[in-house]
Copies of this chain bind each other. A is one copy, B any other.
């Protein structure tokens, strides 16, 4: 079983009527809902305003893949919690950063760049996502491209490191392109960034988006028996 924790800032849903309508129990609840239907996943949720943001040592050590959505309150996430998540990723916990999580403390720290920096427009335009890595497990079950009828636009240049694998490139009707899905490896941890997910549109209700997230969870989960790494200090290896 893959143990998933869906983390959500969970603020917009409380303050904006338009968002509450789309996600009455929060985006995390909806995401946890469709993942829970998978026979190989057990899912819990955590949110910013819970004690320790819901990310206690117990929760983190029992999490194989962490999904992250944040936007308006990145600055309120405690640095000591970010450090713990960081170490868990390096140790092998998968991380899936959704949409505005590109500017979260944890994602920026793992990127090693100011990944908060990109162009954006709050509009209602078409996004078309093309697959550029059709053998990647994250694309299973998708058509060669799919559309999101109304989305916020993101545009290049996106201040990220060169991805380990580029999976999706978006075309926007207003004239922008964007690297919308890519992977990074950090230590033993697998990271996937996925661009769609603006809170004012029903993005996470869309079937293709759910397929991507579900695939990404399976891809990001580390093998159970991954190698135990030691860092030897002045300890010689056995002489041949």
Contact = CB atoms under 8 A, between A and B. Distances in A.
Interface residues of A, number: 78
A77 to B, nearest CB: 17
Contact of A132 (B131, B158, B184, B190): B158
A75 interface: no
B169 A133 contact: no
B227 A185 contact: no
Contact of A222 (B117, B135, B158, B235): B135
Tell me the interface secondary structure of chain A in the complex: loop
B140 A225 contact: yes
Interface string A209-240: 00000000000001111111111111111111
A92 B231 CA distance: 33
Contacts of A131: 156-157, 227, 229
Contacts of A128: 175, 177, 237, 240
B225 A121 contact: no
Nearest to A171: B177
B135 A92 contact: yes
Given A112-B161, A144-B227, 4 more contacts: A141-B223, A161-B186, A171-B175, A175-B236
Pairs A-B, 4 closest by C-beta atoms: A135-B188, A112-B112, A140-B223, A119-B232
